[in-house]
A and B are shown apart, each in its own frame.
Chain A
Amino acid sequence: DVKVTQSSRYLVKRTGEKVFLECVQDMDHENMFWYRQDPGLGLRLIYFSYDVKMKEKGDIPEGYSVSREKKERFSLILESASTNQTSMYLCASSYDLWGEEGRNQPQHFGDGTRLSIL
């Protein structure tokens, strides 16, 4: 089974702190994603990466950065945490397969990190 592991289930930080959220996958997936989930808004994509050292902005990248130094690890960085970044953060990974083959390879999610910024 695919395993996507997020380093913390719950995290409490203060405004202005630099926060690191870590995600590791064990399936040699090329693609990795960071989402945040907020009530009434669903899941919104922050950043994604399709290869080591490659990254692309999602829909809400402001205030965040990412790092992918190794294929299995994708880090989300809150440069200077603010209270509006209090949220559930979800990491996902998938194979980079296009066309019909890609359609049958779902994104696999971790269990999430509930981050509170005080």
Chain B
Amino acid sequence: DQQVKQNSPSLSVQEGRISILNCDYTNSMFDYFLWYKKYPAEGPTFLISISSIKDKNEDGRFTVFLNKSAKHLSLHIVPSQPGDSAVYFCAASVYGSGNTGKLIFGQGTTLQVKP
């Protein structure tokens, strides 16, 4: 049973426009959410996170929004750049374990930003 779901396998966006990547989860015990970015032939790298006590976290061009009632989070990239083209994984962790404990990952969304 997939507890963290990224229902869009791929997304294509024009350079300069907004990219919105979505993620849904089913386990109400998740209290911390993260986004990782992965280039081909490299390991995932941490991008941004959000605690369940917040509904928004911003870091430069990247903003993560959390809607707890809908069990939904999204990653916004504004403006999108060709270098953002990668696979993006949403992940969640169980209460109290922060980012150091067990993470549950989604299937990933491949973002292509066209010049």
Q: How many residues of B contact A (CB 8 A)?
A: 29
**B binding-site residues for A, Cβ under 8 Å:** 4, 6, 9, 32, 34, 36, 41-46, 49, 51, 89, 91, 96-108
- Picked from B89, B97, B99, B107, the residue with its CB within 8 Å of the CB of A40 is B107
- Residues of A with C-beta under 8 A to B104: 45, 59
| Nearest CB in chain A: distance from B110 CB, A | 10
- Complex-state Cα separation, A41 to B108, whole angstroms: 8
Q: Check if B100 sits within 8 Å of A109, measured CB to CB.
A: no
- Residues of A with C-beta under 8 A to B44: 43, 90, 109
| Nearest CB in chain A: distance from B111 CB, A | 15
Q: Check if B98 sits within 8 Å of A102, measured CB to CB.
A: yes
| Nearest CB in chain B: distance from A54 CB, A | 13
Q: Check if A45 sits within 8 Å of B98, measured CB to CB.
A: no
Pairs across A and B, CB under 8 Å, 7 listed: A45-B104, A58-B102, A59-B104, A90-B44, A99-B96, A106-B46, A109-B45
Digitize A76-105: 1 where CB-to-B-CB distance is under 8 Å, 0 elsewhere. 000000000000001010111111111111
Chain A CB within 10 A, most for which of B45, B49, B96, B101 = B101
- Complex-state Cα separation, A35 to B107, whole angstroms: 13
Q: Check if B99 sits within 8 Å of A42, measured CB to CB.
A: no
Q: Check if A111 sits within 8 Å of B89, measured CB to CB.
A: no
- Complex-state Cα separation, A103 to B93, whole angstroms: 10
Q: In the complex, given contacts A43-B44, A43-B89, A101-B98, what are 13 additional A-B residue pairs having Cβ atoms less than 8 angstroms apart?
A: A40-B9, A42-B4, A42-B107, A42-B108, A48-B102, A102-B97, A102-B98, A105-B99, A106-B49, A107-B100, A109-B36, A111-B41, A111-B43
- Complex-state Cα separation, A44 to B43, whole angstroms: 14
Q: Check if A98 sits within 8 Å of B107, measured CB to CB.
A: no
Q: Check if A105 sits within 8 Å of B105, measured CB to CB.
A: no
- Residues of B with C-beta under 8 A to A9: 41
- Residues of B with C-beta under 8 A to A43: 44, 89, 91, 103, 105
